[in-house]
Amino acid sequence: MNQLDQLRQFTTVVADTGNFHQMAAFAPRDATTNPSLILKAVQQPDYAPLLAQTASSHRGAALDEIVDRTLVRFGLEILKVVPGRVSTEVDARLSFDAPATLARARRLIGLYEAEGVARERVLIKIAATWEGIQAARELEREGIRCNLTLLFAFAQAVACGEAGVRLISPFVGRIYDWYKKAAGPSWDESASAGINDPGVRSVSHIYRYYKQFGIATEVMGASFRNVGQIAALAGCDLLTISPELLAQLQASDAPLERVLDPQARDEAMAPIRHSEASFRYALNEDAMATEKLAEGIRAFAVDTDKLDALILAL
């Protein structure tokens, strides 16, 4: 078997792209999108008509509604390709506004349901800020499943587990990027690869914590820079992977073995609970997570601004 098929034996493979024509070749179960991926897609000739059609069909509607309808339009096309779920993201500019996040999440799920899509096939992506996590807690009570994204700190994972969210997306590659940049000339690539990669270590720790304490939230490693990071997380509940890296896995017949074991136990590990104050303090103490969370929100907000501008120009 190629590495992609080997990986499927113990991990659910998810496609991380808005390019629904491309993803079919890899037969993923689920797919994830974000503002940057959708912006990239709508600027391609194959997908630009979707944006134009959506904007034309809803001319006169509020700009944020047209954006949401565009995201859902892509999601509907993706759901024709994947048998499982699609993740659709709430506007990152609402990351610190729980009521507004709730409203947008409910609208997104309502747009899907109006097209005959059961809510079980949709994950609403929300940034893992304190406000985002509390919004997700309420949405989960309403049967709206959530994918908490831009997750870099263990405190974020703990709070998401407490809130009962369906799935989290800890970012492997962006954690790796931060530590590599911080180390500068002293960075040793070979010594920081595989299970020693800082992003891999972060996701592995979250996975072990969830399994040890019976937390049902699914762990989906995200944001990969190379196939070595993927191989080092084989056995994680899900991994969302770009088409470029899916192609590399598909082209390789090298052995790929399970690394993460759901039955593994760490006697030194203890359960943790977070109040708002302790969550904010723990996040503040983690310079990497603080910087990457803020950077991620800003980047998604910029790309949403660009998507707004494209719609206004039509």
| In the chain, alpha helices (H) | 3-8, 20-23, 35-42, 48-57, 63-79, 98-114, 130-141, 154-163, 172-183, 198-212, 227-231, 243-251, 276-285, 287-312
> 81: Cβ–Cβ under 8 A, 6 or more apart, which residues?
20, 23, 24, 31
Report the alpha-carbon distance of residue 181 to residue 124 in Å, rounded. 32
Residue 181 falls in the annotated catalytic set: no
* Type of residue numbered 197: D
Which two structure tokens, joined as six digits, stand for 95? 């990351």
Q: Of residues 125, 180, 181, 292, which has the active-site annotation? A: 125
Can you tell me the distance from the alpha carbon of 127 to that of 302, in angstroms, rounded to the nearest whole number? 15
**Residue 33 tokens, joined:** 């999108």
- The tokens describing 219, both together, are 């762990």
Q: So which residues are the catalytic ones?
A: 125
